Amino acid sequence: DDAYLITHALAKDTLLRLRDVETEQVAFRKGLVKLGRICGYEIIDGVMETEYVTVQTPLTETTGERVKGLDDVVIINVLRAATPFVEGLLKAFPRAKQGVISAGRDEDAGMDEEGEFPITVDYVKLPEITEKDTVIVADPMLATGSTMCAVLDHVLESTDADPADLFVLSAVSAPDGLLRVGDQFSEADLLTVSIDDHLDDDGYIVPGLGDAGDRAFR
Ligand code: PRP
């Protein structure tokens, strides 16, 4: 259960614009798409292996590198804020299989003493996951980690296989969420563009970027 920062300069630049309260709906949604694409490229560059293959150019035969495992990627979209983020990831992994989970915090119930929210899971549709797969569970926000823990329970219960890699990918994370998910799911590697300072009393990430779902969808 390692945690890695995605440090690409364009990821930071894009996140800065997402944080900006002046960024309106269309720019916000496009920013999430762009950030998803950059994160996808960073996952490929950071963890996926390449192999040397020969290729026939119009002039001669030569050797190049091919990324291995691009056909064995599963992306889990945690509705709803992850939808534009996943759209970007799919530009990096066009042949990925996709799963969809609708999971949300019961904001009326509020955060309990442990700093967790009750999570309502309404819809789960997952592809088959095999031991060859790189699984990426994407949600732009990792706050208390309650949503992600509920999602990972469903993902891991859905298969007997241990996927080759299991990544939890977020744009902005709170320390609490990283610790909770890391503690409960030692098999997951946590990837994020930023570890923010803290959660406020309502469980919002500070400084954060507000409610990503609301900002992208309305
Ligand atoms: C947000 C966010 C995460 C979750 C993070 O979703 O997209 O899914 O909260 O919080 P947690 O780590 O404390 O569980 P929200 O419940 O607002 O739903 P939405 O994406 O539909 O807006």
Residue 144 and residue 117 in contact, taking contact as beta carbons nearer than 8 Å: yes
User: How many whole angstroms from 68 Cα to the centroid of ligand 1?
Assistant: 32
The reply to whether ligand 1 has any atom less than 6 angstroms from the CB of 156 is: no
User: How many whole angstroms from 104 Cα to the centroid of ligand 1?
Assistant: 6
Q: Is the pLDDT of residue 1 over 80?
A: no
Q: Is the pLDDT of residue 22 over 80?
A: yes
Provide the β-strand partners of residue 105. 119
The reply to whether ligand 1 has any atom less than 6 angstroms from the CB of 143 is: yes
Ordered by start, the domain boundaries in the chain are: 3-47+69-217
The reply to whether ligand 1 has any atom less than 6 angstroms from the CB of 212 is: yes
Please tell us whether the domain made up of 3-47+69-217 is placed in CATH 2.40.50.140.
no
Protein residue with its CA nearest to atom 10 in ligand 1: 143
Q: Is the pLDDT of residue 125 over 90?
A: yes
The reply to whether ligand 1 has any atom less than 6 angstroms from the CB of 177 is: yes
DSSP string, 24-67: -HHHHHHHHHHHHHHHHHHHHHHH--EEEEEEE-SS-EEEEEEE
**pLDDT of res. 145:** 98
The reply to whether ligand 1 has any atom less than 6 angstroms from the CB of 78 is: yes
Percent of the chain with pLDDT over 90: 98
**pLDDT of res. 206:** 98
Which regions of 61-188 does DSSP assign to beta strands (E)?
61-67, 73-79, 97-105, 119-125, 134-138, 141-142, 165-173
